[in-house]
Amino acid sequence: MAYKFTKTQRDLNDLIQSSAITMVGLVEGEEGDLAFQEYLKEYLEDDTIYVTEGRVINEFYGTDFKDDLRIVSLKYNKLGRLPLIRLEIGAKWFDDFIDNL
């Protein structure tokens, strides 16, 4: 497992293009992002946890999220029943998250 912190518009565009599955406000560790990753492990493209902080979204999209808000995304293999699971757990696609700011 690896963490990648998004910091640039290019990083954000990569998550948008991949339509990464995303949860807003997850904490770091077994009660947050690691549980999210474990729950979806059979659907994931890689073992990277992509973290975007509120300050990055604020900088590029003019929002007013708390600077330390954690937005956690995972890239997934487009096959399987992930769209149904997304609804069950209340996750969003990263591109939908950005489009609805």
Per-residue pLDDT tens for 42-65? Answer: 999 999 999 999 999 999 999 999
Check residue 64 and give its pLDDT: 97
The Cα 87–Cα 15 span in angstroms is 19
pLDDT confidence of residue 27: 97
pLDDT tens-digit profile of 72-95?
999 998 766 788 888 899 999 999
Q: Calculate what percentage of the chain has a pLDDT beyond 90.
A: 87
Domain count, the chain: 1
Residue 7 has pLDDT above 80, yes or no: yes
Radius of gyration of the chain (CA): 13
- Do 4 and 50 contact (CB within 8 A), yes or no? yes
What domain range includes position 85? 2-99
Q: What is the pLDDT of residues 22-42, one digit of tens each?
A: 999 999 999 999 999 999 999
Average pLDDT of the chain, as a whole number: 95
- Using the structure block, give the residue that is written with the tokens 């330390």: 68
| Mean pLDDT, residues 3-9 | 98
Give, for 10, the enclosing helix (H) or strand (E). helix 9-18
| Whether the Cβ atoms of residue 38 and residue 91 lie closer than 8 Å to each other | no
